[in-house]
Amino acid sequence: MEEFRRAYARLCAAPQEPVLLRLRERGAAPGRGRLDLAAQSLSLETCGALGRLLPGAAPFAEVALGDCGLSEEGGRGPRGGPADHLGLLFQGNNLRTMGAEALGKLLRQNKSIRSLILEWNSLGMWEQGFSSFCQGLGANNFLQRLDLRNNQINHQGAGELAMALKQNASLQELDLRWNNIGLLGGRALLNCLHSNKTLKRLELAGNNVPSDILKAVEQAMNHNQDRQTILSESQNRADILSKEVLSLKDEKTKQFLDLMDTIEKQREEIARSDRMSAARVSQLQEALDEQHSIMNSLKARLQMTEAALALSEQKVYNLGELLNAVRQEQTGMAECHFKELQQQKQEGADREAKLFRDLSVAEEKNLLLRNQVDELEKKCKIQQDQLFQVKQDLTNTTAELKLRAMQAEERLETEKRRFKQSLEDMESLRVKEVSHLTQHMEASEHSMQERIQKLEAIRIALEEELSQTKAAALTERGQAEEELIKVRNWARLEEQQRLEHLEEKLRLMTESRDEAQNCCLKQKQMVAEAQAKANQLSLHADGLRRRLEELQQDLNSKEEEKVTEVNKVKVELKEQIGHLQAERTAQDGLREKIAALERQLKAISSSHREAMLDKEGEISVLLEKLRMKEADISRMREEEARRASFLQNAIMAYVQGSPLGTHSSRK
């Protein structure tokens, strides 16, 4: 700011003291503010310097040049000034054609001005300049507020404005009060509103526009405001929906990863069970091979003579040891099966507990969302009450403003009467003083003539005295004339001071009236904002209700999935229990067969031949049982492979049926 003041002092040969004082005051204030040069009579030199300095002046957010009495040349000076500022105040400068053209060029080139105040400038009187200004407005897509009050705009100017509004897509507020737009101009503006969807506020009071056109304009403004609110709400909804879609995608990816983890775990379990079953089969095969070798040795030994009974008894002892080993292996296998059953039961219980925990968490979320909905409904009710109070306050303030306006008009009338009375009094005083001075001059001239007549007799002797008296008379006359001129100048100065004082009072009254109108407009805007907020809150509450319904549906679907999974687990557990029971019954049968074999071996010691026959029968029975066991083992393998393939197909069908699965398949 100090550099700006120094640059201004350097560019101006005779810088104005009020401008320097305002720049010093602005330099003491922190942050970006407004350069206020309103009501300052700026010279052409000052306007030229400001026009050079303002394009690069970053510290100003707003430049006020109102009531500066700028001429045509002075108005052209700062036309490129606020190129990087947000507001320009140009009211009360009586701009003409060249000033309007300069403003049109500024609007074409500028991309940062958001507010332009041009009231009390009579731009509508100059058709060519106003048309160029309207063309610049139509080419501008950054201005948001335009004030054209008291500019004597007629219906032709309103048509130019309508053409500009059809092209403009950024203006939101346009103030055209106290002009001469009339019926044709009102229709033109109303027709342009069909294509302009961004204008939210259009003021046409004091323009002799019919009430039906005003109502139609108001409806169009309301429609534009509703459209803007709907657009903002739709944008907010789209953002919320995108966030929800992203969250759902994240949840689905997590679920998919969990499913893949469970599938991998199940595959590992299946591979582990396959390895264990293969180990069991190999052990059984070894046991069968051993039994085959034992049976072959028994055949060879039975074909020998009775002298080999000791060897047969030794072999019987070896067979008893082998049977004990087989019993131990069977008990170990039974224990392993029992442990696996317990593990599967524990896993099923863990799954059920996890599902119950998920269900409890979802119910807690549902309760929290319901509480939030209740709180939002309470807030909506509170804001509706506040809206009602604001409306009451607004009605009270409008009534008070009307009373103040009536009082201000009465005061204006009384001041006008007093001013007229004071003017008449001053005129009468001036007439009396002039008549008194003329009488005094006539009396002095008459006395001088008498003196001249008396001194004519002694004129020859007293020429020097006569010249002195003439000089004295002339000096007295000059002094009297000077006194008369001073009195006249004093009277004129007093009249001018009184006129300026009364004009200042009138200006203050108009400013107070404008401030009152601005207060009314601000209160209306606050009411509209409160209504918009209430609508947004209601829409948010509806969205939350829909979200609650969706969550309830998700909970129901998850409960159904949980029930189906629990049923599947129960069915699998039942099948495994049935297989284990079948294996247990088979083991019992094997134990009974082993006892029968022991009895048969005891019978062999009594009679060798009967033992040989019995042994051959038992060998055939054992072979058949071994074949049955092998068939059972192969059937169990096929059932396990079928169950694994069925589980894998069901998981793949579930993954492909979900939305995430379809998305991954498309990729």
Of residues 104 and 654, the one with the higher pLDDT is: 104
CA distance 563 to 545: 27
For residue 18, how many C-alpha atoms fall within 13 Å in the half-sphere facing its CB?
A: 10
pLDDT of residue 83: 40
435-446: average pLDDT: 73
CA distance 140 to 138: 6
- Length of the chain (residues): 667
What is the CB neighbour count within 10 angstroms for residue 234?
10
pLDDT of residue 247: 87
Instruction: Quickly list DSSP for 578-617.
Output: HHHHHHHHHHHHHHHHHHHHHHHHHHHHH-HHHHHHHHHH
Hunting for tokens 């969250």 — which residue is that? 247
Question: 663 pLDDT exceeds 80?
Answer: no
Q: Is residue 173 helix, strand or coil?
A: strand
Q: pLDDT category, 76, cuts 50, 70, 90?
A: low
CA distance 199 to 136: 17
pLDDT of residue 273: 79
Of residues 596 and 257, the one with the higher pLDDT is: 257
pLDDT of residue 12: 75
DSSP character for 123?
G
Question: 161 pLDDT exceeds 90?
Answer: yes
Question: 70 pLDDT exceeds 50?
Answer: yes
Q: Which two tokens stand for residue 78?
A: 């700062």
pLDDT of residue 177: 93
Instruction: Quickly list DSSP for 313-337.
Output: HHHHHHHHHHHHHHHHHHHHHHHHH
Do residues 38 and 68 touch, judged by C-beta distance below 8 A? yes
Enter the pTM of the model. Answer: 0.38
pLDDT of residue 257: 87
CA distance 479 to 474: 9
**193 φ/ψ angles, rounded to the nearest 5 degrees:** -70, -15
Q: Which two tokens stand for residue 312?
A: 């047969």
Q: pLDDT category, 85, cuts 50, 70, 90?
A: very low
What is the CB neighbour count within 10 angstroms for residue 247?
10
For the segment 585-637, what is each residue's pLDDT rounded down to a tens digit?
A: 777 777 787 777 778 777 776 766 776 777 777 888 888 888 888 888 888 88
Give 64's strand partners: 36, 89
Average pLDDT, the chain: 77
∠ CA 224-226-231 to the nearest 5 degrees?
95
Question: 662 pLDDT exceeds 90?
Answer: no
Q: pLDDT category, 86, cuts 50, 70, 90?
A: low
Do residues 301 and 614 touch, judged by C-beta distance below 8 A? no
pLDDT of residue 175: 93
Of residues 168 and 487, the one with the higher pLDDT is: 168
Strand pairing class (87-89; 173-175): unpaired
Of residues 455 and 57, the one with the higher pLDDT is: 455
Q: pLDDT category, 665, cuts 50, 70, 90?
A: very low
CA distance 169 to 142: 8
Which of 99-113, 230-244, 533-547 has the least mean pLDDT? 533-547
Question: What's the gap between Cα 83 and its chain centre?
Answer: 28
Return the percentage of the chain with pLDDT > 70, whole number: 82
Instruction: Quickly list DSSP for 43-95.
Output: -HHHHHHHHHHGGG-TTEEEEE-TT----HHHHHGGGGTTTT-SEEE-TTS--
| Residue 86 CB-density burial (10 A; 0-12 exposed, 13-18 middle, 19+ buried) | middle
